[in-house]
C-alpha cells in the first residue's frame, strides 16, 4: 500500500483520529492516551502501531516508556491531496452558481 493509502486507512478509525487530536496537544504516553477510552494499553498500542506505520506519529524511548508524538508531514500530504479535489469542486460550484444566476435572470426577464 502506498503512503497516502496508509494515511487514509489509519484515519478511517475514529479512535485513531481521537488519538491524533490528543497528540496535537503534545507528546504523551500510552497510559495517558488510554485514559479517555474504554480500552487497555495494549489495544491503544495496536492503534499507535497503525498510526506509526502510516507515518502519522513517531515514538521514542524514555526509560520504560515509549511516548508518542504527532508527525504532521503525513497529514500535510493527505491535506494536499484533498485540496486538489476541493479546488475542482469549488470550480464546479462556481460554474453552477453562474448557471443558476443566468437562469434567474432569464426567468426574471420573461415575466
CATH code of the domain containing 91: 1.10.10.10
Q: Are 57 and 48 in contact (CB under 8 A)?
A: yes
For residue 98, the model assigns a pLDDT of: 92
For residue 109, the model assigns a pLDDT of: 64
Mean pLDDT by 10 residues, the chain (111 residues): 91 96 93 87 93 94 84 90 89 91 83 48
From CA 76, how far away is CA 59, in angstroms rounded? 19
For residue 41, the model assigns a pLDDT of: 85
For residue 40, the model assigns a pLDDT of: 87
pTM score of the predicted model: 0.75
Which residues constitute the domain of residue 42?
A: 3-110
Q: Count the domains in the chain.
A: 1
Please identify which residue in the block is written with the cell numbers 508531514. Answer: 73
For residue 110, the model assigns a pLDDT of: 54
Q: Please report, for residues 97, 100, 105, 106, the alpha-carbon distance to residue 111 in angstroms, rounded to integers and kept in the order given.
A: 21, 17, 10, 9
For residue 74, the model assigns a pLDDT of: 85
CB under 8 Å to 54, separation ≥6 — which residues? 3, 6, 7, 9, 10, 74
Amino acid at each position: 500500500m502506498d503512503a497516502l493509502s496508509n494515511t487514509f486507512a489509519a484515519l478511517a478509525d475514529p479512535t485513531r483520529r481521537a488519538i491524533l487530536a490528543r497528540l496535537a496537544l503534545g507528546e504523551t504516553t500510552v497510559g495517558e492516551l488510554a485514559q479517555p477510552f474504554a480500552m487497555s494499553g495494549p489495544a491503544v498500542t495496536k492503534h499507535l502501531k497503525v498510526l506509526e506505520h502510516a507515518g502519522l506519529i513517531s515514538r521514542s524511548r524514555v526509560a520504560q516508556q515509549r511516548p508518542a508524538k504527532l508527525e504532521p508531514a503525513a497529514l500535510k500530504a493527505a491535506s494536499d491531496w484533498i485540496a486538489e479535489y476541493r479546488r475542482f469542486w469549488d470550480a464546479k460550484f462556481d460554474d453552477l452558481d453562474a448557471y443558476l444566476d443566468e437562469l434567474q435572470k432569464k426567468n426574471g426577464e420573461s415575466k
